[in-house]
Every structure is written in structure tokens, then in C-alpha cells.
Structure 1
Amino acid sequence: MALVAHFDLELHQMDVKTAFLNGDIDETICMVQPENFESGDPKNMVCKLTKSIYGLKQASRMLHETKRFLSKNFEMKDLGDASFVLGIQIQRDRSRDILGLSQRSYIDKVLKRFGMQDNKPGDTPVAKGDKFSLNQCPKNNLKVKEM
């Protein structure tokens, strides 16, 4: 994500419906560098692949070509611009060069599961820089109940 923000790259998601079938590759497979993304002498440089699916996030044309290729070879669903990854919301404001991550929906889901969705937020009694250790953990059942 840091590289996406730093280099202002496109960030898209595709869902591979049969990803579990696309495992490690036993054979040696090499590929030349993608056009317009060459580094050094392109004739002497190759990439050795170890997995069967790679996501390329370069120029817009390359992005669409990659999506077409993947969709032709795998059962895929194009999810467009990435907005959620593993329950974390991706918030992007390109005009201000901001790429933010939010776990608000996950927190709301946990609060709802425990019947706490209507609770009001409050300050957490932890100061910045506080250190925690196992020595602070309760040592018996009574101390656990007190906690």
C-alpha cells in the first residue's frame, strides 16, 4: 500500500474463484520484463516465477491487459478499484496524495456482535508510549475476575 501511495499507482482487486487450484509451480518459468516497465538491460534480465498468479499494477493499459489475461485463463470477478482488503477499508484521495486505511466497519461489526453498538465512545486510559508485559497479567482466577 505504501508503494501504491508513493508512486500513485492504480490499486484494483480481482477475486479468483478457484485460487486454491492455482498453487506453487514446480517447473522453472521465466518471463521478460513487461513493456514500458524495463529496468537495466532488458535483454539480460528475466523474472523467475514461483507462483502461478501475479498481480501487475503498472500503467492503465497494462492493468487492463493483465485483467483480460487473468479473466481469460481463470474464473475471475473484477472488483474494480480496491475499496476493502481483509475487512479493512481503503480510502483514497489522489488530489491530496492520501491513501488511508480504516477498520471502522470491523469495529462496528464486533460491537454489534457483543450488543455494544449503541455504547458511547470514551477515552482509553492508556497514554502514548505505555509499555505492557506479561508481568502485568492477573496471576489467579480472583485477579482475572477483578480485571
Structure 2
Amino acid sequence: MLRIRQTNSTRPLHLTTLIALISVTVLLISVLINFAFFRQPEIMATKQNLNFSDVAVKNMPFTENGKIAWWQENKGKLHKEFNIPSPAKNGDWYISVWNSGSGFQNRPEGDIRVFSSETQDMICFRNDSDKCLQKDLVMRIENNRSGGVNIQIGDKDISVK
């Protein structure tokens, strides 16, 4: 009967493979964390109707604090470049910020009535049919009577100055 004897020379190979696997895993996790948390938000499109404004943003921050910080850092840019917000005569204004992460789509060709099942979950940013998004509301921002701003993220209302 032939006996196969294991030697210690195979152990370093297993250890080397394990170290390589751990290194690759750590590298992949680092890349994913970097991509998820350090990506730069980008304003993709805006639209305005009276004192109601819509803003499509790519790469919005994930956290509530990150979204509030995005608003505080970009409110000047929105006003300067897009005239957003545009207050009504009484001073009220409203901004809806939409996630454009999955990109723009064409408006469906079929029934385009307001309550059509094909279009009710879409918002379009131009009269062109190629600037439509599936509705994914990130936050609503509006002014309040005390001169501050209310930000609604999910079911939370946050007041900021």
C-alpha cells in the first residue's frame, strides 16, 4: 500500500493563498467604500414652474447629514446658475430634489395622461422626451415663516437656518 505523506512545504502555499485572498478582499472593500462615500454629487437637470423647482442630482450623499450638507454647500450655486429657488409674491418657495442615479430615460410613447400607469412615476425635465426620470425623491426643501428652511428627508422634517 502506497502512503502519501504531507510535508510542511505545502503549508506556506496555503498561507500565501490566504494572504492574497485577504489582500484582494480588503482592496475591493476599500474601493467600494471610496466609491460609495466619496463620489461627487452632480446637478444633472433643473426645472421650474412658478415657485416650485425640481432638481435632478446624480451621486447624492447617502446620509441625512450628507444631504443637508449638500444643500448648504449648493444653495448658492442653485440660485446663481439656475435661479432656484424662485419665490412667489408671498415669499414661499419649494424645491424637490430627485435622484438621477439610474440616468435619464425616454418618455413612454403610449398613453401620456397624467394618471397613466406608464408615466405617473416619472418626472421629465424638458419638453424633449429624453430627459425623464423614474421618481426617486431624495428630499424636499422649503422656506418657513421664521426665515429658516425646512428639509424633509423621508418622514423626517429638519429645520435649518
**TM-score, shorter chain, exceeding 0.5:** no
Which structure has the larger Rg? Answer: 2
| TM, length-normalised to structure 1 | 0.23
| TM, length-normalised to structure 2 | 0.21
Relative contact order: is structure 1 or structure 2 higher (C-alpha 8 Å, sep ≥ 6)? 1
